[in-house]
C-alpha cells in the first residue's frame, strides 16, 4: 500500500465519521537465542493471545545495536542466552523496570532482578559428564573437588573465558573470595587432560575417547545428544557418560546459568511485552522449554523432561545471580592471570 493510498483511505474514513481499523497487536523480540530454540514458545503465544510476535536474531552485539537505535528502537523484549549479557543490558541503561505479580509469583527472587529489570526464563545446570566405564560408581562430587590433585590429567572443559565458565568462576569468587577462587582455578587447570577448548559436547566426546574421565558441561546438551537431535555420533557420546549434579561444598547447591529477558527501555509495545514475559513463565511455556530445549524450568513444580529428571533432583544454589554477576570481570581476569586457556 502506497503512502498516497494510505492518506486517501484515512481521509475517506474521516469524512464519513468512521474510526480507522485498529492495528493488530504485536510485540518485537530481539534475541541472542537461536531462533529454533524459542520459536515454538513464541508461536504458541501468538496463537493463544492473537498477537503477532516479530523476532530478530542478534547473534552478537545486541547491546550495541539497541543503543545505536536509541529512542527509535522497535525492540520490546531483549532476550539473552545467559544472564551475563542480560546484566550488561541493564548496566547500559537499555532496559526498564516492570511490575508483574505473575512473574513475581512464578520466579524465585534469586532468579530475577529485585527492581523488575529482568527475569530468568529457563535454567541450565553446570554439571559433570562422567565416564560410565571408568567411574561407574561416582554419584556425587563438589565443584571444589575438581581441583583435587587426584583428578590430575582427567578433566576436560571448554575455554575459561566462555560465559558459562566465567559464571561458575564468578560464583566461586562470590562464595569464597578472589584468593580462594584463584587457588581453586589453578588447581583445576593443573588437572586438565587437554587445553581448555571446544564446546561442552566435545567434553562428552573426549570422555568416550578416554582422553578424560570427567568433563564440565551444561545439562541441556545431554538432553539434545541423548534424544538424537545432535545426530548419531553425539548420541554415542551421551551414551558413554553419566551425569553428576555437582554442588558447592558450603551451600550444597548446583550452579545454574539462565536464559532471561527484559523489557527494552524504549519499548513501543510495553504492555504486550509484559504479557509475553508472563506467558513465558507460565506452566504451559515452562513445559515447552523442558520439552523443546531440555532446560530446567524456573517455576517451581513445572514439569521437567524425563532425561533431565534421570540426573536426580536439582537443588539450585541459592546465590543471587545479580551478586554473581558483579564478579564476572574479576572471574575473566583470573582466567588470564592463571593462564587457564594457555
Long-range contacts (CB closer than 8 Å, 24 or more residues apart) made by 316-319: 316/108, 316/110, 316/123, 316/125, 316/253, 316/254, 316/256, 317/171, 317/247, 317/248, 317/251, 317/253, 317/254, 317/255, 317/256, 318/110, 318/251, 318/253, 319/110, 319/171, 319/174, 319/175, 319/251, 319/253
Query: What is the chain's Cα-based Rg?
Result: 22
Residue 106 corresponds to which cell in the numbers above? 512464578
Rounded Cα distance, 124 and 151, in Å: 25
Distance, CA of 221 to CA of 272 (rounded, Å): 32
Residue that the C-alpha cell 529457563 belongs to: 122
Q: What is the largest CA-CA distance in the chain?
A: 85
Cβ neighbourhood burial of 103 (10 Å; 0-12, 13-18, 19+): buried
Is 220 annotated to bind ligand? yes
| Separation of alpha carbons 106 and 300, rounded Å | 7
List Cα–Cα distances, 23 to 20, 47, 56, 67, 279, in angstroms.
9, 17, 21, 27, 22
Q: End-to-end CA distance of the chain, in Å?
A: 59
Q: Residue 249: which H helix or E strand, with range?
A: none
221: annotated binding-site residue? yes
Element (H, E) at 211: none
CA distance 52 to 42: 9
Residues 6+ apart with CB under 8 A from 98: 116, 263, 270, 273, 274, 277
If one counts every other C-beta atom within 10 angstroms of the C-beta of residue 3, the result is 7
Binding-site residue positions for Fe cation: 220-221
Binding-site residue positions: 220-221
Amino acid at each position: 500500500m502506497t503512502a498516497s493510498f494510505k492518506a486517501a483511505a484515512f481521509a475517506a474514513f474521516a469524512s464519513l465519521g468512521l474510526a480507522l481499523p485498529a492495528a493488530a497487536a504485536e510485540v518485537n523480540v530481539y534475541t541472542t537465542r537461536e531462533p529454533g530454540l524459542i520459536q515454538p514458545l513464541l508461536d504458541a503465544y501468538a496463537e493463544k493471545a492473537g498477537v503477532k510476535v516479530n523476532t530478530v536474531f542478534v547473534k552478537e552485539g545486541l547491546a550495541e545495536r539497541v543503543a545505536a537505535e536509541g529512542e527509535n528502537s522497535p525492540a520490546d523484549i531483549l532476550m539473552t542466552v545467559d544472564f551475563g549479557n542480560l546484566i550488561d543490558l541493564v548496566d547500559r541503561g537499555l532496559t526498564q523496570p516492570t511490575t508483574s505479580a505473575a512473574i513475581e509469583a512464578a520466579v524465585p527472587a534469586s532468579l530475577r532482578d529485585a527492581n523488575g529489570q529482568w527475569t530468568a526464563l529457563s535454567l541450565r545446570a553446570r554439571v559433570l559428564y562422567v565416564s560410565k566405564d571408568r567411574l561407574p560408581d561416582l554419584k556425587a562430587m563438589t565443584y571444589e573437588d575438581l581441583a583435587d590433585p587426584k583428578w590430575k590429567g582427567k578433566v576436560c572443559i571448554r575455554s575459561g573465558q566462555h560465559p558459562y565458565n566465567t559464571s561458575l568462576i564468578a560464583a566461586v569468587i562470590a562464595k569464597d573470595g578472589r584468593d580462594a577462587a584463584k587457588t581453586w582455578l589453578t588447581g583445576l587447570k593443573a588437572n586438565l587432560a587437554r587445553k581448555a577448548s571446544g564446546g561442552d559436547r566435545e567434553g562428552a566426546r573426549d570422555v568416550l575417547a578416554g582422553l578424560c574421565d570427567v568433563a564440565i558441561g551444561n545439562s541441556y546438551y545431554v538432553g539434545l545428544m541423548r534424544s538424537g537431535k545432535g545426530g548419531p555420533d553425539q548420541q554415542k557420546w551421551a551414551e558413554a557418560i553419566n551425569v553428576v549434579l555437582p554442588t558447592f561444598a558450603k551451600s550444597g547447591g548446583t550452579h545454574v546459568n539462565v536464559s532471561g529477558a527484559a523489557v527494552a527501555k524504549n519499548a513501543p509495545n510495553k504492555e504486550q511485552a509484559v504479557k509475553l514475559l508472563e506467558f513465558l513463565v507460565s506452566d504451559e511455556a515452562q513445559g515447552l522449554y523442558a520439552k523443546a530445549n531440555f532446560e530446567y524450568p524456573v517455576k517451581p513444580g513445572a514439569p521437567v523432561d524425563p532425561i533431565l529428571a534421570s540426573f536426580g533432583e536439582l537443588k539450585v544454589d541459592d546465590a543471587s545471580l545479580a551478586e554473581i554477576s558483579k564478579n564476572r570481570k574479576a572471574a575473566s581476569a583470573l582466567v588470564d592471570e592463571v593462564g587457564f586457556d594457555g
